[in-house]
Structure 1
Amino acid sequence: MIAIDLPTPGAEPARTPVLSRHWSDDEPWLLRNYVDGTGYQGLKAALQMEPDAVIDLIKSSGLRGRGGAGFPVGMKWSFIPQGDGKPHYLVVNADESEPGTCKDMPLMLATPHTLVEGVIIAAYAIRARHAFIYVRGEVASVIRRLRTAVAEAYGIGLLGKNIFGSGFDLDLIVHAGAGAYICGEETALLDSLEGRRGQPRLRPPFPASEGLYASPTVVNNVESIASVPAILRNGVDWFREMGTEKSPGFTLYSLSGHVERPGQYEAPLGITLRELLDRAGGIRAGHELKFWTPGGSSTPMFTAEHLDVPLDYEGVGGAGSMLGTKAIQLFDETTCVVRAVLRWTEFYKHESCGKCTPCREGTYWMVQILRRIEDGTATAEDIGLLEETTGTVVGKSFCALGDGSGSPITSSLKYFRDEYEAHLAGGCPFDPAASTVFAKGAPA
């Protein structure tokens, strides 16, 4: 058994970075280097508490899910029924597929033990004896790194039987997914994990009562679970010193597109895009911001007027969008909005699982109409037809993919209707050669 000292309360300053603090260290993925820092101190603290006390601690911290809607993590854990005689499962959703999202993969590649430690704590809290990390099958390097970390943890008794002498047993499996966007939806992920085609399930029942193998299951995002060890090490007050009252803590923002220094920027929730751009060197030289997405392409777009919107769940929601995965895609004035929306919609059409008619048929027709508008063969009625078709998908599909597919269209028409109308006069008024993203003929 490896010797790990208990944490000293308040030993770490309440500042960022937390998750990415050691990404630039020498070989931070190795167990010995992780333990030399603060590795597995949170786990040892958790195992000295009752499982329900761990859940209460996470609920008190206000940690919200970092993969989409921002549902409170501790509350999700508390939904698992106890004393039901069924096995309980923890599933980590590492199927990072949202266009523009690229935070979970570098986290797992650089510090996989942060996730492994979080998995053990979460599984202990919900009384699960089996846990799974569902990773996109294409990212072979991440899968190898995770499996190596899991093997290291087994090798010194951090996984398996009687962890830290607590009597708690846990087996952790890293599962390579099938490479479908729809498997990011939690019930489609569960079907894929069971060996079936990844398609959303009808709810209720919800995973908390009938999830994996028809048993109580918690499904959490990578960043959500990886944030847990730091809270156990340092406490609720430490965590709440960062972020805002309703959206406390730290998070990873992914900046991509027409920005000088794209990448991952860890900051307290509630920071503004203006502040993030200061860190990232601003929009590329000689250009200005035209539009951006706060949480990936499935969230309604913003414009330069929204630079000072607090990037937390309440701030972004109040301004008419969603924080989502915090995948901030930035586009300057050389980008054609219609072409960008067309490329996003083509993605959703391709990734629709086809289970429900509104999404299967609606995304197809949204693409056809957008193509006519973009190439100048549309009529004046096509913009109204596009709005009507989008309305038959949003709010009427089996899962959130349908809603997400309509967000770029509805928000772009809200802010850039004149640009759509300009296309009706003879095609795209933008020179494809002037833009570095979403140019005609560019790879998806």
Structure 2
Amino acid sequence: MTAESAEKLLAPVLSAFWDDPTSWTLDTYRAHEGYEGLRKALAMEPDDVIAYVKDSGLRGRGGAGFPTGMKWQFIPQGDGKPHYLVVNADESEPGTCKDIPLLFANPHALIEGIVIACHAIRSNHAFIYLRGEVVPVLRRLHTAVRQAYEAGYLGKDVLGSGLDVDITVHAGAGAYICGEETALLDSLEGRRGQPRLRPPFPAVAGLYACPTVVNNVESIASVPAIMNRGKEWFRTMGSEKSPGFTLYSLSGHVAAPGQYEAPLGITLRQLLEMSGGMRPGHRLKFWTPGGSSTPLLTDEHLDVPLDYEGVGAAGSMLGTKALQCFDETTCVVRAVTRWTEFYAHESCGKCTPCREGTYWLVQLMRDIEAGKAAMSDLDKIADIADNINGKAFCALGDGAASPIFSSLKYFREEYEQHVTGRGCPFDPAKSTLWADDRTAHLEVNA
């Protein structure tokens, strides 16, 4: 692929000026047409803004891909209750790292999108629920919010429009389950983060039992460009059912990991060609299209279009576009075991299938990895995963079952080798996956 063709494939919008030394400041943002989309939105009626975003085809960038404008449309009007916008910035999915870099490099895109969304759903108060561990991002976000207040983009009578908007930045306490929208709302209200029974849905009874829209960071941050450049421009990128640009997080055994902003529908093969491919001397073995909670794919799926329909047709989900790539030195059983340990640790324990199922999956996966399992245990983990999938209170259970199902589908022979060979056939010294600290120390001293 030539540099010219690669440039055509990439679509830097959100990341257009991340390389600027002061990309996060208000001055830099305004120098790149910042807050122009807000001015255009404020000149429109709220319902017209909702219709405009709906017509653009923007789909939620948080995993499910639900149409953003349609989500806003669900908010009941004339109900006499306060309406709230909650931005889900609790990015904790293994392999997902797009929202945190976006907030660190360009927080004003989110703030502008928040004000537009608040105007559309008739809200006067928005909340940003940020993953608490990322303190530098929290500080930068607070600074950006303060700058927006001082410039008149937040607070009373935004830009003389009569709209009042306040933003509260809330730092979470490190619970993966709070990435689930209703658990996030419970956490915001000061309770333990656990999923709620639905209905009622957040659009009817969300934060403080009031109508609430919960959107992902990238979803809201994409709105200003749509309002400023037009819905037709947005639809020139991507596919018919999955239009627009998005951030792909490329990580793992690749030559150049990082964020790649491109139209939806690009393939992993194209992204790898642009990023220098897998690490020298190695080949792709398996990868996740949307983080560890999405069914893994293999090198046979390099040309699958990375949009919601294409990945779905391949038997997986686009999710958060977290493309974790693993080469032939990686033990699939070991990787799935580590993911399963994560889900067991992060289960909130509210429902039995997830609480008990993930615990027993971990015990069996550890036995398989160590060569202590019987061949019947392979069917047993598939059965346990089936008892979790679709039967848990929230999607965490489905996420825990996905790596089990997909790895057994594509790599059952490798599982069987662990059983018959009484242990892992892979040499851990040749793998860089979760390298042991002692091994790394020896390599440095060598």
Asked if TM exceeds 0.5, the reply is yes
CA distance in 2, matches of 1:146, 1:109: 7
Instruction: Report the CA distance between 1:442 and its aligned residue.
Output: 8.7
SS in 2 for 1:74: helix
Please tell me whether the aligned partners of residues 14 and 242 of structure 1 are also in contact (alpha carbons under 8 angstroms).
no
Q: Aligned match of 1:33 in 10, 23, 28?
A: 28
User: Paired residue for 2:203?
Assistant: 208
Q: TM-score when scaled to structure 1?
A: 0.96
SS in 2 for 1:411: helix
Q: Which amino acid aligns with 2:86?
A: V
Determine whether 1:17 maps to 2:12: yes
SS in 2 for 1:87: coil
Please tell me whether the aligned partners of residues 14 and 241 of structure 1 are also in contact (alpha carbons under 8 angstroms).
no
CA distance in 1, matches of 2:261, 2:345: 32
Aligned positions of 1:184-199 closer than 5 A: 184-199=179-194
Please tell me whether the aligned partners of residues 270 and 311 of structure 1 are also in contact (alpha carbons under 8 angstroms).
yes
Please tell me whether the aligned partners of residues 255 and 265 of structure 1 are also in contact (alpha carbons under 8 angstroms).
yes
User: Paired residue for 2:3?
Assistant: none
Deviations 1:260-284 (A, max 9, x none): 0000000000000000001110000
CA distance in 2, matches of 1:37, 1:26: 14
Instruction: Report the CA distance between 1:18 and its aligned residue.
Output: 0.4
Q: Which amino acid aligns with 1:428?
A: C
User: Paired residue for 2:442?
Assistant: none
CA distance in 2, matches of 1:112, 1:85: 32
Determine whether 1:319 maps to 2:314: yes
User: Which residues of structure 1 form unaligned runs of 5+?
Assistant: 1-12
CA distance in 2, matches of 1:382, 1:369: 7
CA distance in 2, matches of 1:239, 1:93: 23
Deviation beyond 6 Å, 4+ runs, structure 1: 440-443
User: Which residues of structure 2 form unaligned runs of 5+?
Assistant: 1-7, 440-446
CA distance in 1, matches of 2:148, 2:312: 40
Q: Aligned match of 1:68 in 46, 63, 68?
A: 63
SS in 2 for 1:131: strand
Deviations 1:115-141 (A, max 9, x none): 100000001100000000000111001
Instruction: Report the CA distance between 1:32 and its aligned residue.
Output: 1.2
Deviations 1:142-161 (A, max 9, x none): 01001100001111211001
SS in 2 for 1:218: strand
Instruction: Report the CA distance between 1:438 and its aligned residue.
Output: 3.6
Aligned residues: 431
Instruction: Report the CA distance between 1:178 and its aligned residue.
Output: 1.5
Instruction: Report the CA distance between 1:94 and its aligned residue.
Output: 0.2
User: Paired residue for 2:42?
Assistant: 47
User: Paired residue for 1:3?
Assistant: none
User: CA separation of 1:106/1:442 partners in 2, compared to 1, >3 Å: closer, same or farther?
Assistant: farther
Instruction: Report the CA distance between 1:314 and its aligned residue.
Output: 0.1
Q: Aligned match of 2:250 in 230, 251, 255?
A: 255
CA distance in 1, matches of 2:151, 2:127: 20
CA distance in 2, matches of 1:14, 1:230: 18
Instruction: Report the CA distance between 1:26 and its aligned residue.
Output: 2.5
Deviations 1:36-66 (A, max 9, x none): 1110000000000000000000000000000
Instruction: Report the CA distance between 1:15 and its aligned residue.
Output: 6.8
Q: Which amino acid aligns with 1:394?
A: N
CA distance in 2, matches of 1:163, 1:428: 61
SS in 2 for 1:255: strand
CA distance in 2, matches of 1:125, 1:161: 17
User: Paired residue for 1:175?
Assistant: 170
User: Paired residue for 2:128?
Assistant: 133
Aligned positions of 1:354-433 closer than 5 A: 354-425=349-420, 426-433=422-429
Q: Aligned match of 1:58 in 25, 48, 53?
A: 53
SS in 2 for 1:208: helix
Q: Which amino acid aligns with 1:433?
A: A
User: CA separation of 1:85/1:161 partners in 2, compared to 1, >3 Å: closer, same or farther?
Assistant: same
Bigger CA drift: 76-85 or 23-32? 23-32
SS in 2 for 1:291: strand
User: Paired residue for 1:287?
Assistant: 282
Please tell me whether the aligned partners of residues 10 and 260 of structure 2 are also in contact (alpha carbons under 8 angstroms).
no
SS in 2 for 1:265: strand
Q: Which amino acid aligns with 2:127?
A: F
Deviations 1:216-260 (A, max 9, x none): 000000000000000000111100000000000000000000000
Please tell me whether the aligned partners of residues 265 and 310 of structure 2 are also in contact (alpha carbons under 8 angstroms).
yes
SS in 2 for 1:220: strand
CA distance in 1, matches of 2:77, 2:117: 15
CA distance in 2, matches of 1:375, 1:213: 48
Instruction: Report the CA distance between 1:73 and its aligned residue.
Output: 0.1
User: Paired residue for 1:436?
Assistant: 432
| Identity among equivalent pairs (%) | 72
CA distance in 1, matches of 2:383, 2:242: 35
Please tell me whether the aligned partners of residues 335 and 438 of structure 1 are also in contact (alpha carbons under 8 angstroms).
no
User: CA separation of 1:218/1:14 partners in 2, compared to 1, >3 Å: closer, same or farther?
Assistant: farther
